[in-house]
Amino acid sequence: MQLRRGIHRAAGLTLALTVLVGLTLGVTAAGAAPASNGETISGIATITGAPAGWSPSNFYVVLCPAHVRFTLVCRGQRDPDTHQSTGRFTVDVPARAWDVGVYYYTANGQMILGAGVAVPARPGQTVIRNVTVAYRVPAVQGTVVLAGAPKDFGSLAYLGVQACPGRVSFGVGCRGGQEAYEDVGPGSSYLIDLAPGSWNVAAYYRNYANTQEFSGTPVAITAASGVTSTVNVVIAYQGI
pLDDT tens string 99-154: 999 999 987 778 899 999 999 999 999 999 999 999 988 899 999 999 999 999 99
For the full predicted model, state whether its pTM sits above 0.75. no
Nearest CA-CA partner of 105 in 201, 224, 174, 13: 13
Q: Look at residue 107 in the predicted model and tell me its pLDDT.
A: 77
* Number of Cα atoms under 13 Å in the Cβ half of residue 151: 0
pLDDT band (50, 70, 90) for residue 32: low
Alpha-carbon gap, residue 234 to 217, rounded angstroms: 8
User: Which are the contacts of 164, defined by CB distance < 8 A and separation ≥ 6?
Assistant: 170, 171, 174, 176, 177, 199, 200, 201, 218
- Rounded CA-CA distance 83/125 in Å is 22
pLDDT at 150: 93
Mean pLDDT over the full length of the chain: 85
CATH 2.60.40.1120 for domain 11-134, yes or no, is yes
The pLDDT of residue 20 is 37
Q: Can you state the percent helix, strand and coil of the chain, rounding each to 5?
A: 10, 40, 50
Q: Classify residue 150 by its DSSP letter.
A: -
What does the pLDDT read at residue 29? 41
Through-space distance between the first and last CA atoms of the chain, rounded to whole angstroms: 31
194, 135, 90, 120: CA torsion to nearest 10? 70
- With a pLDDT cut of 70, the percent of the chain lying above it is 85
CA dihedral 180, 183, 185, 190 (to 10 degrees): -40
pLDDT band at 225 (very low <50, low <70, confident <90, very high): confident
| CATH 2.60.40.1120 domain range(s) in the chain | 11-134, 140-236
Give the pLDDT band (50/70/90) at residue 6.
very low
Q: What's the DSSP call for residue 154?
A: H
How would you class 122 by CB atoms within 10 Å of its CB: exposed for 0-12, middle for 13-18, buried for 19 or more?
middle
> What is the per-residue pLDDT for 35?
61
pLDDT digits (tens, 9 = 90+) for 19-28: 333 333 333 3
pLDDT at 3 over 60: no
For residue 1, pLDDT over 60 is answered with: no
Average pLDDT over every residue of 34-48: 89
Sign of CA dihedral 66, 67, 70, 74: negative
Class of domain 140-236 (CATH, top level): mainly beta
For strands 213-215 and 126-128, give the pairing: unpaired
User: Taking a C-beta distance cutoff of 8 angstroms, is the pair 118, 168 a contact?
Assistant: no
Q: What is the pLDDT of residues 185-216, one digit of tens each?
A: 899 999 998 989 999 999 999 999 989 999 99
* 91: CB partners within 8 A, 6+ apart: 27, 28, 30, 40, 41, 42, 61, 63, 78, 80, 81
Proportion of the chain above pLDDT 90, given as a percent = 68
Is the pLDDT at 75 greater than 60? The verdict is: yes
Residues 6+ away with beta carbon under 8 Å from 151: none
The pLDDT value given to residue 7: 32
